[in-house]
Chain A
Amino acid sequence: GENVEQHPSTLSVQEGDSAVIKCTYSDSASNYFPWYKQELGKRPQLIIDIRSNVGEKKDQRIAVTLNKTAKHFSLHITETQPEDSAVYFCAASTSGSSNTGKLIFGQGTTLQVKP
């Protein structure tokens, strides 16, 4: 069935370093790839997304890259700050998502930024 694998499950970096989280997806029909950030005890919130007709998208310190051929996409955070500490989820749309909006989520990455 449709599947999204996310790695690593935990990531610890020093403040100011970069962090990279990678996801692979199985459904070749997937065409929308969002990233959500979830702070402890809070709801997931969208931080960046990319559609399949674009290879890279940036928003200040965060960027997402997509390789459709290899079916993987990555989140890059530069100049990390302690407030970037959270759980990050990737997701991919599924066949028929244009009508249903269904997303398949990865397992999550706990990012810790050490001051």
Chain B
Amino acid sequence: NAGVTQTPKFQVLKTGQSMTLQCAQDMNHNSMYWYRQDPGMGLRLIYYSASEGTTDKGEVPNGYNVSRLNKREFSLRLESAAPSQTSVYFCASRTGTSSYEQYFGPGTRLTVT
């Protein structure tokens, strides 16, 4: 099992450009999450998908959109990148049944200039 995978690992964007961060899991998990991590701020939830076919906003959704493409894949889109979106982005998943444990991907380091 590869677990949770994310692409790309690193990305540099100019202000106003768009991009999509990809996330996939091969553990047959129901729920998936996107977080951003900034120094001193911990992990903040951007969007989540409790199950295939549903998505909901987290704490900091502004400037982002998501798509739960199927049970395996959950993508995060920045339509018009801003310097404030410079961060490390983590995708996570959990079984969605009796376990609360979340498994994280390796992260994407995004810089917006």
Q: Which residues of A contact B (CB under 8 A)?
A: 4, 6, 9, 32, 34, 42-46, 49, 89, 91, 93, 97, 99-108
C-alpha spacing A27/B69, complex, angstroms: 32
Q: Which B residues between 92 and 112 are near A, CB-CB below 8 angstroms? A: 94, 96, 100-102, 104-107
B94 near A101 with CB under 8 A, answer yes
Residues of B within 8 A of A89 (CB): 42-43
A32 touches B100 (CB 8 A): yes
| Size of interface on B: residues with Cβ below 8 Å to A | 24
Which one of B11-19, B44-52, B70-78 is at the interface? B44-52
Q: Closest chain B residue to A106 by CB distance?
A: B42
Inter-subunit contact A43/B42 (CB<8 Å): no
In the complex the two chains form, what is the Cα distance from A93 to B40 in whole Å?
20
Contact status B100-A103, CB under 8 Å = yes
The 8 nearest A-B residue pairs measured at CB: A43-B104, A105-B42, A105-B43, A107-B42, A32-B100, A101-B31, A100-B50, A101-B94
Pick from A44, A93, A99 the residue with the most CB of B within 10 Å: A44
The complex places the Cα of A107 from the Cα of B40 at a distance, in Å, of: 6
B58 at the interface (CB under 8 A from A): yes
Q: Does B26 contact A (CB under 8 A)?
A: no
- A61 to B106, alpha carbons, bound, how many Å? 26
- Select from chain B the residue with minimum beta-carbon distance to A90: B42
Question: Which residues on B sit within 8 Å (CB–CB) of A34?
Answer: 100-102
Q: Which listed residue, B31, B48, B101, B106, touches A43 by the CB 8 Å rule?
A: B106
Contacts of B43 in A (CB 8 A): 44, 89, 91, 105
List the A side residues contacting B34 at CB < 8 Å: none
Cβ distance A28 to chain B, nearest Cβ, rounded Å: 17
What are some 5 contacts across the A-B interface (CB < 8 A)? A93-B100, A101-B33, A101-B96, A105-B35, A105-B44
Task: Report the minimum CB–CB distance from A89 to chain B (whole Å).
Answer: 6
A107 touches B41 (CB 8 A): yes
Report how far A92 CA is from B42 CA in the complex, Å. 13
